[in-house]
Structures are given as structure tokens and as C-alpha cells.
Amino acid sequence: MRLDKLISQMQIGTRSQVKEYIRNGSVTVNGQVVKKPECKVNALEDKICYMGRELCFQKFAYYMLNKPSGVVTATKDSHDQTVMDLMHDAAGKDLFPVGRLDKDTEGLLLVTNDGTLSHKLLSPKMHVVKTYYVECEGALTSEGIFMLEQGVDIGDEKITLPASVSNVKQLDGTYSMLLSITEGRFHQVKRMIHAVGGNVTYLKRISFGGLFLDKTLANGAWRPLRQEEIMQLANQNQNKNQNKNKED
């Protein structure tokens, strides 16, 4: 594999940044400075160091993206800009978004190439919590809150699982709130609000599986997950599996 490609997959920097690091003499291969990004190396056999620190090949990459409105959650699209277009310079092979956010929905989106983790996070059996900040037209009554928290009929075979409603703020003809759900049905939040007499005008996901949107990320910006954030996602799944085993 090319040296610059291998190092970028270790999330040291973008492909263009890594090329500069190599040309500046910051990278050694088996103790020798290598200044050619195209140099061929073996991740399993060669000792590769950046700034004197040995690099360990990382199979998977994990990113947090603050998805903007107007961008579709897909790897490719013939008509619209995709979330992966925003991350064209991100390190890692075969990256994809975990789940989806509607085109007009903003906020936290996990992007990775770890198919096992993605499958667990999206499994209906896992009941992974997703929290949204929602702005709506209409008025949210106490009955409406009760319906959301008990499960509401949105036209599917089954009513929704119980949701959590908090931080409700009401004005004349509009309201906002935080809504936490554990499913991922088609247009679910919008349909839930419609079922209690409201209409969603703005929707932003602020957390997913215990991972919270970095408030310093501008719309369309992304960053690698920190190790503790990756562990948060992994441990959450372990805990849920343990709880399920206890119930069984």
C-alpha cells in the first residue's frame, strides 16, 4: 500500500496533510526517513513512525459529522450532494453513514467503516437512544406529551415505543422540545409530532447512542471520534447485550 494512504487511514491527518508530513521528513520506515508519499509499504511487516512515534495500523475509522440541511445521507447520489461528499478527504476505506437523517434534518451523524458496530447500533433489538431538538407549529398539550411518552399510532402496524419528552418551551402557535426515541422508522419524529397535532419545522439530532454532537462543529464539519467516544459506543452495546442475557 502507498505510504500516504496507509498513514491517512490511521487518522493522522487528511491525505493531503499526510503527504506534507512525509515530504517534510516527519515519517520513517524501518528507521529510515522516507520523503516519497507513493513509497510502497507493508502495514504488517514495516515499522512506520510519525514524529518518532510508532504507528499501529487501525482497521476501522470513526467520525462525527454535523450534517447540514439540504444534504442527503448516502454514499452516492446522482442529483444531490451527499454526506460523503462533505468527507471526501477523510481517512479510511469504504466509509459510510450509520443510519440516515432526512435531507432537511441537521445534526449528529456517525460515519465509519465498521460494519459490525453499525449493525449493532441500528438493530431494533438494541433500542439505541437518539435525541432530537425539535421545533414545531401548533401547541403541545399534556395529552400530546402523554401519547408520545406512552407510544403513538403513526400509521404502522405497531405504535411507536415510548419516547422521552423534555425541555418543552411553548410560544403562540409554536413550540420546541427534546425528543428521545429508541427506534429508527421512516420519518419517525415528523410522523410522531403529526400524530399529536403538530408540524415539524426544524429538526436536529443532538445525540446518538450516548455520543453527543460536538458544539464546536459547524454545519458540514466533521472530526474523528476520540477513543473514549468509540469506547462509549462499544460499551453501550456490551451493556445492552448483558442486560438482554439477564432478561433471558
Among 196, 90, 180, 79, which residue's Cα sits nearest to residue 136?
196
Distance between CA atoms of residues 184 and 161, nearest Å: 11
Active site residues: 102
Using CA atoms, how far residue 193 sits from 15, 53, 62, 74, 147, in Å, is: 43, 52, 32, 25, 10
Q: 65: buried, middle or exposed (CB in 10 Å: 19+, 13-18, 0-12)?
A: buried
In degrees and rounded to multiples of 5, residue 159 shows phi and psi of -70, 165
Q: CA-CA distances (angstroms) from residue 78 to 54, 74, 75, 82, 182?
A: 41, 11, 11, 9, 31
- Please give the span between the terminal C-alpha atoms of the chain, in angstroms, as a whole number: 47
Beta carbons within 10 angstroms of residue 113's beta carbon? 17
Instruction: Find residue 76's DSSP bridge partners.
Output: none
